[in-house]
Each structure stands twice: as structure tokens, then as C-alpha cells.
Amino acid sequence: MSIAVVGLDGLARCPWGLSAPDYVAYHDEEWGRPVRDDRGLYERMCLEAFQSGLSWLTILRKRAGFRAAFAGFDPERVAAFGPADEARLMADAGIVRNRAKIQATIANARAALDLPGGLGAFLWRFADPDAPAPKTTADVPAITPASTAMAKELKKNGFRFVGPTTAYALMQACGLVDDHLTGCHRRGAYR
């Protein structure tokens, strides 16, 4: 069971937030910060789907490549992608070249555009701001009833690669739930 760990800068962080230099900035500046705009949520959803089965560090290090390949994660532009774009993406070493995940990213852009009220309004219905504060990493769930419900609703609306675990990772990353550990300097920072 890991608790918040004090780094060389004197700040306590979730242990994973100190495991690699790239993680420090991500942990401190992004993870858990509320994202409400459709483009930002679409980007995070896509990156979480690409991360499935891989290290998040791999995705973070390829993030600029993903943004370039997927038109800055503009759902309207990605929704217009066709077979030539899919072939281009499969040849792009700057991203994870997984055909199913690439196709899901395109399909999810189309599905996001079809949501009444937009992706932000849709996803934030599942927010759980009153979830108990985890004291250790063992207290952080992989899925919750809310993430299971979110995944079910996303799939019903045409989204792909959004199972309950991916949905929960999205909730954590975008501030729908605060899973910074008790004692972490970011815990409650965005309330």
C-alpha cells in the first residue's frame, strides 16, 4: 500500500506522480484538473483508449504526435477522416498504430458530434465529486458504478474502446472524480 510521497521539491504527490519526470508535470498540472470542453474531453478519451494495454508514459511521450495526427483532436475534423486518413495514421510512427483504436477514434468523433448538448454535458453527468478520498493506492478503484454506467451509455451512443476501466481513467484524468491521495498537494485543489 503506497501513500503520498514527498518529492525532492518538498511536495507530497501520489507515488506514480514521482515515478518518471514526465509524470511530475502531468500529475501536478493536468491529472484531476476539471476538463469541461468537448475537444479537451474528446482528446483525453482518445488517449485513454490508446493507452489500454500500454503504459500511460508511452502515450504521454507520443502526445504531440497524436495531436498532429488527429488534427488537434478537433472532433469535426476527425469525424471527416476517411480511408486515406486511416492509412496515413497506420503509417505514422509518432502514434500507437493500432487499427481498432484508430477506427475507434474516428468513430468516437462522429459519436461525440451526435450527442445532444455535447460531450462535456454528457460526461459530466457521471461526475462524483463526493467520492471518498483515497488514503493509499490500494484505495483507488479501477472501475466504479459511475464508470460502468458511463461506459454503457457511451457504447449505447456509438462510442468504442470505452469500457468501465477506460471510463474511470477518463473520470480521474478530467476531474470528474478526485483520486489524488490524502496528503497529496493536489488533493482538493480543483474544488
Over the chain (191 residues), the average pLDDT of each successive run of 10 is: 88 93 94 97 98 94 98 98 98 97 98 97 94 94 97 98 97 97 92 69
185 is in an annotated binding site: no
Cα 121–Cα 185–Cα 173 angle in degrees, nearest 5:
30
pTM: 0.95
End-to-end CA distance of the chain: 26
Q: Pick from 145, 177, 151, 147: which is nearest to 163 by CA?
A: 151
Q: How far is CA 155 from the centre of its chain?
A: 16
Position 166 scores a pLDDT of 97
Which residues belong to the active site? 26, 48, 56
Q: Pick from 137, 132, 69, 71: which is nearest to 98 by CA?
A: 69
Position 17 scores a pLDDT of 92
Position 138 scores a pLDDT of 95
Position 130 scores a pLDDT of 84
174 is in an annotated binding site: no
180 is in an annotated binding site: yes
Position 50 scores a pLDDT of 97
Q: Which domains does the chain have, with CATH numbers?
A: 38-174 (1.10.340.30)
14 is in an annotated binding site: yes
Position 1 scores a pLDDT of 63
